[in-house]
Amino acid sequence: MNWPKKNWNNRNTNRKPPKNNCKGKVDKANRGYQKELRYLEYSEKQREIKMADESRAYREKLKNLEVLKQTLEKLTIHAPSAGMVIYHNNGMERIKQGSEIQVFGDPTIANLPDFGQMSSRAYVNETEITKLKLGQKVEVTVDAAPGTIFNGVVTYVSNVGLQRQLQQIVNYEILISVPNKNEILKPSMTSTNKIFTSHHSNAIVIPYEAIRGQEGNYYVIRLRHKKYEKQKVTIQEFATDNIIVTKGLKEGDKILLSSAENVLELPLAN
């Protein structure tokens, strides 16, 4: 059988694949690859940014945690040494677990006092305050330790007086520093303070009630030879209850604290 040559050649030509078909597929695959590569690079950068953000957040939380730990440590109050503590405010309620404490302003809640050196607060009336000076010696006694004398010194004298309720006289506050080596003295103890304002040797001292005045002179009623007489005296200093006499009396003289009949009309004896 003979076939036409022309038709055979045409059929062979039509069955050949297009020349650009494979190249197009390669280009398409390459573009897809580049796209995926760019996406992976973008994803990697995003992951690095996210890790950096999380790392910063983690460090910030660690920093905040350290601050909270330090703050918590400060909230725990430790005494610097062993001993008795006293409340900073006398009107403060007893502090126990769960109590709320003011942290603003003055946060002090208690003090650890030095009992080796105590301070006694006293009040002196206005008639005596001019006799007091810093550094004057003081004998301090307390009922809790009868017979024991503590030697103190005046460390503060107020310049402003205050009038207490139900009292007409003005008082001035003073502070006395008292060594307390054996820690016998305790806070809030009531003390008796004897302040030495001056010193006189061999002085004649008489009660304040024994002194009388006449024509600008001072005198006392003295018993002499079984008779009363008005004896003129010179006084040097007034104390709270006593007066120092520098002239007119000698040790052993007897005097009256109250007036006797017909004595006030007698002349003064020098």
CA atoms of 154 and 1, how far apart (whole Å): 152
DSSP string, 6-32: HHHHHHHHHTSPPTTHHHHHHHHHHHH
SS3 annotation, 98-152? CCCCCCCCCCCCEECCCCCEEEEEEEEECCCHHHCCCCCEEEEEECCCCCCCEEE
**Eight-state DSSP code of residue 209:** G
Q: What is the CATH number of domain 204-269?
A: 2.40.420.20
Lateral strand order in the sheet of 191-195: 117-125, 171-179, 150-157, 137-142, 191-195
Taking alpha carbons only, the member of 200, 212, 215 closest to residue 248 is 212
| Residues 6+ positions from 129 with CB-CB distance below 8 Å | 157, 161, 172
Do residues 132 and 124 touch, judged by C-beta distance below 8 A?
yes
Beta 117-125 vs 217-224: how paired, if at all? unpaired
pTM of the complete model: 0.48
Euclidean distance between the first and final Cα of the chain, in Å? 192
Query: What are 236's two structure tokens?
Result: 């040097």
Q: Along the 270 residues of the chain, how does pLDDT read in single tens digits?
A: 454 555 545 555 555 555 567 777 888 888 888 888 899 999 999 999 999 999 999 999 999 999 988 888 777 777 777 777 777 776 667 777 777 777 677 777 788 878 889 999 999 988 788 889 999 999 999 999 999 999 999 999 999 988 876 667 789 999 999 999 888 998 889 999 999 887 778 888 898 888 888 778 888 989 888 888 889 999 886 666 788 898 999 999 999 887 655 566 666 666
Distance CA(187)–CA(91), nearest Å, equals 15
Structure tokens at 77: 């109050």
Q: How far is Cα 251 from Cα 142, in angstroms, rounded to an integer?
A: 33
Domain spanning 114-195: CATH superfamily: Efflux pump adaptor protein, beta barrel domain (2.40.30.170)
